[in-house]
Each structure stands twice: as structure tokens, then as C-alpha cells.
Amino acid sequence: MDAFKLLTRSIKLKPASAASDSRLPSTGKAVNPQLFRTAETDKLESAKNGKKRKRGAAVQQDEEDIPDLDFFSSNKRPAVSVTQPVALTEDDEKVPAQDAASDDDESMDEVERRTILNSHKIKVTDMRDLEKIQAQPTSTTDSKKKKKKSKKEEAPTLSKKEQKRARRLFPEPLLNFKELRSKYKISSRLAENVADQGFTVPTEVQLGTLPLLLGQSSEPDLLVVAPTGSGKTLSFLIPVINKIVRHHHSNPNEHGILSLVVAPTRELASQIVNEGRKLVAGTGVKITLMRKGMRVGDYGDANVLDENNEESSGSEDEDAENKPAKERANIPVTKSDILVTTPLMLVNALSANRTTTMATLPLVRSLVMDEADVLLDPLFREQTLDIWKSCSHPDLRVGLWSATMGSNIEDLTKSTIRERLEDLGQKPSETHPLLRLVVGLKDSAIPNIDHKLVYAATEQGKLMGLRQLLRPAAASPSDIRLRPPFLIFTQTIPRAVALHSELKYDIPAEAGGSSRIAVLHSDLSDSQRSDIMRDFRKGEIWILVTTDLLARGVDFRGINGVVNYDIPNSAAVYVHRVGRTGRAGREGGIAVTYYTKEDIPYVKSIANIIDVSEKLRGGEEGDKSIQKWLLDALPNLSKNSKKDMKRHGVKARQAPRLTDKEDDGKGTRGMRISTKSGFERRLENKKRGAIEASRNRKAAAAASGNVSDTGSWGGLDD
Ligand SMILES: Nc1ncnc2c1ncn2[C@@H]1O[C@H](COP(=O)(O)OP(=O)(O)OP(=O)(O)O)[C@@H](O)[C@H]1O
């Protein structure tokens, strides 16, 4: 029997069918990017859409026309000159007459709204204190509901269930992208740019959040928890850009950073800029990636850098970081409407590397925190809160977006909003609401990927398993089949480097050899990082070994899967890592997680996530990959151990010595990434020792003049 099969008894492997290839995310068609919907709502929505089609000027593209999402495609769209006139002219404000006229009579009643939101598993909650909700109900509920609610809330004490019900909101959903223009009257240029991307059906998060952020009622602060790959970027960028277009229209003389988007990694920040550039084309809005040395805050001078010259001024900016304060004062302040940044880079720019008090960002009206839970995690918290406080405009709105969000983050958000308002002398009840929108089950993995949790017993077992994945042709029909492109996650940088060197030559030369596999981590230079990202996106690199640097936010179109070579540090990290596949509703992505003896204490939370995701997917009990006996047998982790794991990962894997060539201290022995057995390594070490001793002897003999002159054998090259 295959040794590897013995190690994978905990998982049910289904025979791979010939048809499985066509289900690969990189080859398959993303028929519908939505993850949750029912036949009943499909009918209701198409009835509503049908009405619009008859009346609207432009007919919406049919669902069948959605273009193939191809991993290897460059996602090119027709070039649009960024120098086109600033949008929102008189014409821009005009909405097709029929559409505008049709708006009111087509508003949905509450039953329809409830039906649609519930079937898409969208839950909107008012997060304010109940008294405040009573004092200032939001206009997203209809008036009947308000009356009912306030009567109920007059009762002296409400049960938890009643409180929950009182907080629930059923705002109008967005049925199609055409409504962005016809109903929400966004800039026509922006609407065209959205249409140019070929998106036809809004994802759940877009369906729920866009009306909230673009609607007529007071723009809320918003906490959004929505699945990985569900299109959150578009959801926050469209309202941000539209708000700036309007701002330019009403305040043509006010220029500066109006919106700030903060993301935890440079890779994600630059991806957001790329997405943003497609949307701002021709709108007159400028979006920029924060770079070292840029001046962005209110430093008390009026110099402004025109972002049109941004590229040419890049190298000067780099130098600026190291210039003395006086000279830095002469560097012009960046003129961009939207700044996308990592927290540290912006904090350093606003405080001259923490040598001065933080400068302010007085014009910022929208602060978007992408992957907000990690931005408010202890690692980044101080920096993120400093940035939040530096946004001093009274009309600031915050948006916190992620696929996972602990209740501590919600509490921190509430208290920060409250403190900020107090500092500004505003009473919370006078202002806008804080809403939370959750799509699906909070903190769960997407239901459209296959999870494989594989017991590999030892580090060697993991490597054997991974090698089988790399050679799918040699595998038996019941083995896991994972076609490149895919990502492999390790716990630490040294482990990523070691795994990369172990696998480098596993890809045959005729298939491109070692150039097909790369390693990406934060110790590489910025340019190395972006080259690798580019080559992976282009399909030149097939397998990318990486750390949690790429676990969040990064969108590679149609990668076929994710391998957790080392188990993730927490359930949330699992959700984000595996969410790099199965994006925009694509089926066929695979997430393989190996675990060893040492990992057993930490596996339960991952197994639970998989179990919930499979329940969400529906299907037969027998189709589940996690067996009940495994769930029951796995130990629960104490709170403290969970915390410890989150901070340090599996302790034994932190050991610094990891490659064969390095000495094997006892603690690291079991955690080395290598296929060689201990016996083989001992033999090698002995051989090395013997060679070393022979060299020493020769050197000693040479020193005493006793060596023969042949000197032709230099020993084994180690
Ligand atoms: N309505 C849509 N229809 C089809 N594809 C879409 C739609 N909206 C967004 N996408 C695509 O879905 C992919 C994922 O989007 P995005 O990166 O915004 O996801 P996300 O929700 O931010 O994920 P993560 O939580 O991993 O950061 C992108 O390739 C994007 O172009």
C-alpha cells in the first residue's frame, strides 16, 4: 500500500474524475459570483431586473456573457486616458429619464427586501446603543417598522432576542450594476468603468453595502464582514471615488487627500491601487500608493506635488526620507485624492519616523481599513489608531472590511468612534449610525472550495505529500489532485526559504524547471517582491512558496489551490489563506492542510471551520471530508494556548536551523524540511567530518613540509 495513503486515513479521498479538470478555477467559468442565493430570490430578482430592462435605456449584459476568468489573462481593458476632463459635468448628473422616473415606483417593500437579503445571507445591524437607535432611527427602515420598533423599545427591558430584532435593518439591495447610475446616480464615468470590467451580477457584499454607502440617507460608519474573494475592494472603492467626484464638483478649489485606504501589506496596497486606477480613469480622481519619503499630512506649508509628475519624482521622494527636517519641509505635499498605504509607512511619513508629533490629514472624509481586524490587532493597532486620530475632519466616515472580525474589534471601533466625537465636541446621538453588515456566517471559510485536512505524521510525511501534489500525473486516481498555479504557506520565512530550495528542482526542465517555483517573503527587497508577484500573476511562476504575507487580500485570478504546508496560527488565518482560491464564486479550488503529531493540539479550530464551510455548502452527510470521529477526538485548546499559538505559531517550527547543511540541534530535528532520513544525515555529517579532518591533516603536513606535490585531489566538494 502507498505509504502516503496510510498517513491520510483521517480524510475521505474521492476518486478524481476525468471531469475534475474542467472544474479547476483557472479554467472554469465563474457563472455567478454570488455565494448564497435561492431559487425563490432568483425569481424575485429577475422579475425586478426584467422590469428595469424593459424601461432602461441600456440593456444589461446577460449572465451567459460573463467573460471567462482566466488566470493567465492579463485582464486588459480598453485604455482610457486619465487626462480626460474632470467628471460630473452637468451631463454627468443627468440620469436616463426613464430610469430616474422608474426609481420610486420600483422601490421594494420590506417583505421583498427581507426575502432578498435573507436568501443572500446578508445581515445588517445597527450597532449603536438601543436608546440612540430609538432617538434617531435610520431611514433605511420603513416608517411602519420604525413605529413598531419604538413601541417595543418603550418596554422597560427587552430580551436579548428583542434587542437583536430591534437592531436589524433591511435596506434596499442592489439588484444590478446598472442601478448604480439609474438609482444611486453615481458619476457616469465611474459607472462606465465598472461596466468595462465585465461585472454583471453584484456579489452579496456589493449588493448589501453599495446602497448603504451611496444612498440618500446619512452615510454610516460601516463594519463589513464578508467572505474572501467576494469583491469587497469594489464595494469600498466605488463609494469612495463617487464621493470624491461629487466633492470636486462642489468644492473645485479644495485639493488634497480626501480618502485614505489602509491595508496591512504592500502587496495588498498596490493591488488596491491597481483596482482603483481602473475605476478612476477619466473621472479626474487620483489614486496613489504611499511611498517612502512622500509628504502627505498638514505640515503647515502650501507646497503641493502634482501626482501627474509622480513617476518622475519617485526617486527624489525616496531620498527625501533621509533629508534633515528643514530640507524635508521644502518637499511638496503629495496631491492625490486617494492615498493607499500600509500603516507604518503612513505613520512614519506623518511623524518623520516617530521623531515629531503626528501631522494631521485635515481633508480626509473617508477612512477605509481593509483587513481591519489585522490592522486593529496588537501588531498594527497603535499605528492604525494614530492614523485614525490624525484624520481630523468632523465628517469623517470609517469603513472596516474583512472576512473575519472578532467582537473585540467591534468594541474597539465603537470606543474609538465615541472618543473621536468627544474630542471634536460632538454628541454621538447627533451623528450618523454605525452599521454592521455580515455576509454568510461570520468568520467562516467560503463554501465553494474543497478542504482536505491531511494527517502527515511527520515533517517528512508532509514533504512526501507535497511532492505527490507536484506530480499529479504519477498519482493514483484517489489522490488529491492539485494543478498549478497554487500557493504554499509556511509558518516562517526560513521555512519558506528551506522548502523552496527543497522543491526547486522538482519541476522538470521541459516544463520550465526551477523558474516555475519561487519564494516570496518580507525579507526580499520591494522590487524582488513586485517582480515575483508580477510573474505569478502572468503565469510564469506556477508555484509560490510564501508566508502569511500573502494570506490576506491578495487576489490572484483563478489559482487552483492553496497548500498549508504548516498549519495556520489561527482559524482566522486559515479562512484568509484558503480564501486565496475560489474567488468571485469560482468552484473547484482546493485547500490542502497538512498536520503532524506536533500540530494535533491546534487542529480542532481548523477542522471546525472546514466542517461549518461544508455545512454551508449543503450536500450529503457522506460527502463531508471531516469525519465526526476526528472532530470528537481532537482536543480543545485553552484560551491562553490559542493566544500563544496566534503569536508564535507551533513553537518547534520557530527553530532557526532548518536546512540539511545546518547543524541539527535536538530541538529542531523533527521540524527540518528535508526528505533525508536521520540515518542519511548522520552519514553525511560523518563524511563531512572525515573530509574536514583529512583537510586539517593535510594542512598540518603542508605546514611541516611533508606533503607530496601531486595535490590533484581536492576532496569532495561539500
Ligand atoms: N461582481 C463581480 N462579479 C465578478 N467578479 C467580481 C465582482 N466583483 C469583484 N469581482 C472579482 O472578484 C475578485 C475578488 O475581489 P476582491 O479582491 O475585492 O475580494 P475581497 O472580498 O477583497 O477578498 P479578500 O477578503 O480575500 O480580500 C477580484 O478578481 C474581482 O475582480
Strands 543-546, 517-520: pairing is parallel
Q: pLDDT by residue (tens digit) across 560-608?
A: 999 999 999 999 999 999 999 999 989 889 999 999 999 999 999 999 9
Do 345 and 479 reside in the same domain of the chain? no
The identity of residue 700, as a single letter, is A
Residue appearing with cell numbers 500563544: 644
- Mean pLDDT is lowest, of 19-33, 188-202, 458-472, 587-601, for 19-33
Decide if pLDDT at 78 tops 70.
Answer: no
For the chain, what percent of residues have pLDDT higher than 90?
Answer: 50
Task: Kindly state whether residue 453 falls inside one of the protein's structural domains.
Answer: yes
| 3-state percent helix, strand, coil for the chain, nearest multiple of 5 | 45, 10, 40
**Atom of ligand 1 at shortest range from CA of 576:** 26
Domain boundary among 589, 617, 648: 648
Do 496 and 584 reside in the same domain of the chain? yes
- Find the 63 Cα to ligand 1 centroid distance in Å: 17
Expressed as residue numbers, the domain containing 627 is 449-648
Rounded CA-CA distance 705/559 in Å is 64
Q: What pLDDT sits at residue 94? A: 46
Q: pLDDT by residue (tens digit) across 332-341?
A: 567 899 999 9
Q: Is 420 in the pocket of ligand 1 (CB under 6 A)?
A: no
Decide if pLDDT at 609 tops 90.
Answer: yes
Q: pLDDT by residue (tens digit) across 324-334?
A: 555 555 555 67
Q: What pLDDT sits at residue 562? A: 97
Task: Kindly state whether residue 188 falls inside one of the protein's structural domains.
Answer: yes
Task: Kindly state whether residue 286 falls inside one of the protein's structural domains.
Answer: yes
- Find the 229 Cα to ligand 1 centroid distance in Å: 5
Task: Kindly state whether residue 444 falls inside one of the protein's structural domains.
Answer: no
Do 576 and 473 reside in the same domain of the chain? yes
Q: pLDDT by residue (tens digit) across 3-12?
A: 444 334 444 4
- Find the 585 Cα to ligand 1 centroid distance in Å: 9
Do 548 and 642 reside in the same domain of the chain? yes
The identity of residue 243, as a single letter, is K
Mean pLDDT of all residues in the chain? 79
Q: Is 220 in the pocket of ligand 1 (CB under 6 A)?
A: no
- Indicate the top mutation candidate among 209, 234, 446, 557 to test ligand 1's pocket, ranked by most ligand atoms within 8 A of CB: 234
Domain boundary among 410, 439, 468: 439
Do 368 and 220 reside in the same domain of the chain? yes
**3-state SS string for 538-553:** HCCCCEEEECHHHCCC
Q: Is 230 in the pocket of ligand 1 (CB under 6 A)?
A: yes
**Atom of ligand 1 at shortest range from CA of 234:** 18
Q: What pLDDT sits at residue 481? A: 81
Rounded CA-CA distance 255/159 in Å is 50
Do 411 and 515 reside in the same domain of the chain? no
Do 523 and 619 reside in the same domain of the chain? yes
For ligand 1, atom 25, the nearest C-alpha belongs to 228
- Mean pLDDT is lowest, of 388-397, 428-437, 671-680, for 671-680
Q: Is 583 in the pocket of ligand 1 (CB under 6 A)?
A: yes
Q: pLDDT by residue (tens digit) across 467-518?
A: 988 876 656 666 788 889 999 999 999 999 999 999 998 888 888 899 999 9
Q: Is 588 in the pocket of ligand 1 (CB under 6 A)?
A: no
Q: Is 398 in the pocket of ligand 1 (CB under 6 A)?
A: no
Q: Could you tell me which of 270, 253, 257, 212 has the C-alpha nearest to residue 236?
A: 212
Do 200 and 258 reside in the same domain of the chain? yes
For ligand 1, atom 15, the nearest C-alpha belongs to 231
**Atom of ligand 1 at shortest range from CA of 202:** 1
Do 611 and 550 reside in the same domain of the chain? yes
Domain boundary among 612, 633, 648: 648
707: region left, alpha or beta (phi > 0 left; psi from -120 to 50 alpha)? beta
Q: How far lies 435's CA from each of 167, 184, 410, 415, in Å?
A: 9, 19, 11, 14
Do 431 and 351 reside in the same domain of the chain? yes
Q: Could you tell me which of 182, 337, 350 has the C-alpha nearest to residue 257?
A: 337
Instruction: Please give the full DSSP string across 155-221, using - where no structure is assigned.
Output: SS---HHHHHHHHEE-PPPP-STTHHHHTT---HHHHHHHHHTT--SPPHHHHHHHHHHHSSSPPPE
Q: Is 584 in the pocket of ligand 1 (CB under 6 A)?
A: yes
Q: Is 234 in the pocket of ligand 1 (CB under 6 A)?
A: yes
- Total structural domains in the chain? 2
Judge whether 257 and 364 are in contact, CB under 8 Å: yes
- Find the 261 Cα to ligand 1 centroid distance in Å: 17
Do 382 and 455 reside in the same domain of the chain? no
CATH number at residue 544: 3.40.50.300
- Cβ atoms within 10 A of the Cβ of 658, count? 24
Is 368 buried (19+), middle (13-18) or exposed (0-12) by CB count in 10 A? buried
Judge whether 398 and 419 are in contact, CB under 8 Å: no
Task: Kindly state whether residue 460 falls inside one of the protein's structural domains.
Answer: yes
The pLDDT-based confidence of 302 (bands split at 50, 70, 90) is: very low
Task: Kindly state whether residue 321 falls inside one of the protein's structural domains.
Answer: no
Task: Kindly state whether residue 209 falls inside one of the protein's structural domains.
Answer: yes
- Find the 233 Cα to ligand 1 centroid distance in Å: 7
For the chain, what percent of residues have pLDDT higher than 70?
Answer: 71
Rounded CA-CA distance 343/662 in Å is 36
- Indicate the top mutation candidate among 404, 555, 557, 562 to test ligand 1's pocket, ranked by most ligand atoms within 8 A of CB: 555
From first CA to last CA, the distance across the chain in angstroms is 36
**Atom of ligand 1 at shortest range from CA of 584:** 12
Do 455 and 427 reside in the same domain of the chain? no
- Indicate the top mutation candidate among 200, 203, 279 to test ligand 1's pocket, ranked by most ligand atoms within 8 A of CB: 203
Task: Kindly state whether residue 275 falls inside one of the protein's structural domains.
Answer: yes
- Cβ atoms within 10 A of the Cβ of 610, count? 25
